[in-house]
Amino acid sequence: MGVVTFLSAKGSPGVTTTALLAAALWPRPALLLEADPAGGDVAARVSAPGGGLPDTSRGLLPLLSAARRGLDTAAVLDQAQPVAGGSRVVLGLTGPEQASAAGRGWTALAAAVGGFCGGSAPGASDVLVDAGRVGAAPVHLDLLRTSDLVVLLVRADAAAVLHARDRLRLLGTALRRPDGPAPRTGVVVVGGPGRSARDEACTLDVLRAAGTRVQDLGRLPHDPAGAGVFAGAPVARPERTALVRAGRTLVARLAADLVSDLPTGRSAA
Ligand SMILES: Nc1ncnc2c1ncn2[C@@H]1O[C@H](COP(=O)(O)OP(=O)(O)OP(=O)(O)O)[C@@H](O)[C@H]1O
Ligand SMILES: [Mg+2]
């Protein structure tokens, strides 16, 4: 079991959509932890299993509020809830004020999430983290460092690629752990309107030419209909949308990657 963190540089290339997509298709038990310091969107995008609203009294805020007493995997699972479609989610914060107020709570959360690695925790799960847009001095840096795999989403357009390139450079240093190597980092290129496969391939070339060590984890298409599935829109035959079909390939790769190449000191369940 392990931790995959989805994040972006400047722009909104679909981090939450991709995290929801991954949670829906993940081949093993998984928990989606919505940990975007800018605030969460998942509560507005998912329903309770029988329909209706999810329970917004549970989620990341009570977890971070209890952090002074220490957190473990059971505390994280206590704040998770099943949602329609079969995923389990820990709903995010309402906004950046809550994220700043949590202070050292983020470090306690990172330690608890690290407890899911190795598969010995009760209710063992892979943890899929929506870390939102990551800028300078992220409040949740410890959580990012706890990840086995960090997935940067980038749109295939010039401005987004330049921002992603700078962020990858800085993350290369910031993610280093005091006790070991940094998490592995990869890129998923998300298509944009009018963008070709050539633009997408070019994105990776630009990132690599800049000397950033980056694993090519795959592509997701620009597909408003498919994205609607993860925005609460009624979509007929969601499994047939281009986004969900591409998502299956991506998720199979991420899930396999997680167990095949865990960093030293961690073992696959
Ligand atoms: N692959 C995609 N194709 C088409 N539209 C998409 C795709 N992914 C996301 N979107 C749409 O883009 C918008 C932003 O998506 P999302 O909220 O997932 O991005 P984000 O990176 O999490 O943004 P934020 O920074 O606001 O948290 C939404 O309207 C979503 O439906
Ligand atoms: Mg988001």
Which region among 60-69, 124-133, 204-213 has the lowest average model confidence (pLDDT)? 204-213
**Where is pLDDT greater, at 205 or 36?**
36
Distance from the CA of 90 to the center of ligand 2, in angstroms?
14
What is the separation, in whole angstroms, between the first and last Cα of the chain?
5
Q: What are phi and psi of 123, to 5 degrees?
A: 70, 35
Q: What is the domain partition of the chain in residue ranges?
A: 3-260
What three-state secondary structure class fits 192?
A: coil
Q: What does the alpha-carbon distance between residue 171 and residue 194 come to, in Å, rounded to a whole number?
A: 30
For atom 19 of ligand 1, which residue has the closest CA? Answer: 14
Superfamily of domain 3-260: P-loop containing nucleotide triphosphate hydrolases (3.40.50.300)
Task: Taking residues 124-131, report their average pLDDT.
Answer: 92
For atom 9 of ligand 1, which residue has the closest CA? Answer: 14
Q: What does the alpha-carbon distance between residue 42 and residue 84 come to, in Å, rounded to a whole number?
A: 12
Task: Determine if ligand 1 sits within 6 Å of the CB of residue 250.
Answer: no
What three-state secondary structure class fits 126?
A: strand
**Where is pLDDT greater, at 135 or 202?**
135
Place 245 in a pLDDT band, splitting at 50, 70 and 90.
Answer: very high
Q: From its phi and psi, is residue 198 left (phi > 0), alpha (psi between -120 and 50) or beta?
A: alpha
Task: Taking residues 94-119, report their average pLDDT.
Answer: 92
